[in-house]
Structure 1
């Protein structure tokens, strides 16, 4: 699938992870969004906690690649676009820390090459020097009382933004109602409205309002059939045919 080819070219880079649990949590978030390439830069020693917290993402931890430094990784792996993450966005005085929101970040990345997402240390994040290596910086807005997110939580938000436009859910029962099905529903409502002693102009207004609601909503075929059946039962209770 095309979206999987795109995801296969994404590298998730964790710089100097301090706890094995966060490595596992990050791998778990990656698994949720079909990402496979985990890069660990000078990490803490992997322990059982990393595999436990990874849950179904244990294979991602097992297959992770380790490098002594970020520079070594960027020299050995031909990355086309580097995205840095920061919980401490800056301004004009620190250009490398002028961030994009996640949804804007997705519009800015070069999706045809290899992309690296850099996540920094749990305590201090990425350094200014590391952010200088990035093409863009992304930050997630959070409440000022506690603006810095756990790495796995931030990563999941970013991964979701990458993934959400690539994959369509195939869920049974979500087929949109056809014009015929919508017209049956409108017809049943029209019969009820005509039987409640409204003036002609209000009948027209009521039918127009109901049609507007149906037109603006994404009504599924099953919902249309259910509502049509309900209106028919109301007609029977009212003594209509």
Structure 2
């Protein structure tokens, strides 16, 4: 499993250094910076013994550019303002739940948003899974590097090999096909536009949280194709 720690539009180079330091504490080395601020000396100073993480960071202008360059199995977004039953795009899991589910042989992008504003709604909707840290209502928003450390710890403590060697894991493209098939089926169910959008988000998140094996993905894809075909045939009759 390769985990890309993706910092979206960091505003201070010192925080990039702190993030690198936390990454190295928990065995993470692949830092990605999206449209970052200028990397100044404090990025390397704050990184301490993790300077090479900053030096080797990959830099992209946009998230889409990064996604198209790497074979990502799952996109995990972080949010300090989780939603509830009536804010479906922001329904998260806890770091502990995330750590237990990330036991896969794939490439995972772990997104951290801007220091001031976090990830946008559009960026969150691109994610397969959202994770949020339970905090006090009096002061709920954490510093990004503190939040990252908690998430890294939960991932690290649950790290172990799959019980089956060389287990095939569904790729990001496999899950994208499943999502597209589901959206095609949902589009034929005569939902109002807002309910169709919510249903699509829910399906995408369920598929994302599942970390599906390749065999499961292919079987589910075949089933969804048959359902879609039956619906198409019934509409033609």
Could you state the TM-score of these two structures normalised by the residue count of structure 1? 0.64
Residue 110 of structure 1, CA deviation: 5.9
Q: Residues 155-197 of structure 1: CA distance to partner in whole angstroms, max 9, x if unpaired?
A: 1100100111337xxxxxxxxxxxxxxxxxxxxxxxxxxxxxx
| Structure 1 residue 92 corresponds to structure 2 residue 85 | yes
C-alpha RMSD of the superposition: 1.2
Greater Rg, structure 1 or structure 2? 1
Task: Determine the C-alpha separation between the residues in 2 that align with 1:95 and 1:112.
Answer: 28
2:6 alignment counterpart:
13
Pairs within 5 Å for 1:56-205: 56-109=49-102, 111-166=104-159
| Distance in 1 between residues matched to 2:49 and 2:101, nearest whole Å | 31
Segments ≥4 residues shifted beyond 3 Å:
none
SS in 2 for 1:125: coil
**Where does residue 218 of structure 2 map in the other structure?**
none
| Offset of residue 121 of structure 1 | 0.1
**Aligned equivalents of 2:102, 2:126: Cα separation in 1:** 15
The count of corresponding residues between Structure 1 and Structure 2 is: 160
Which consecutive unaligned segments of at least 5 residues does structure 1 have?
Answer: 1-5, 168-241
Per the alignment, in what secondary structure is the counterpart of residue 122 of structure 1? coil
Q: Would the aligned equivalents of 1:81 and 1:110 in 2 still touch at CA under 8 Å?
A: no
- Residue segments in structure 2 that go unaligned for 5+ positions in a row: 161-237
Q: Give the structure 1 partner of residue 28 of structure 2.
A: 35
- What's the offset of the Cα at 1:34? 1.0
Q: CA deviation at 1:106?
A: 2.0
Question: Structure 1: how far apart are the matches of 2:88 and 2:101?
Answer: 17
Residue 23 (str. 1) matches residue 49 (str. 2) = no
Deviations 1:179-233 (A, max 9, x none): xxxxxxxxxxxxxxxxxxxxxxxxxxxxxxxxxxxxxxxxxxxxxxxxxxxxxxx
Aligned equivalents of 1:135 and 1:109: distance in 2?
A: 12
1:109 is displaced (CA, Å) by 3.5
| Structure 2 length-normalised TM | 0.65
Partner of residue 177, structure 1: none
Contact 1:100 1:137 in 2 (8 A): yes
Give yes or no for contact 2:103–2:159 (8 Å, CA) kept in 1: no
Equivalence for 1:190 = none
What displacement does 1:51 show? 0.4
* TM-superposed deviation, 1:85: 0.2
- Structure ranking higher on relative contact order (CA contacts 8 Å, 6+ apart): 2
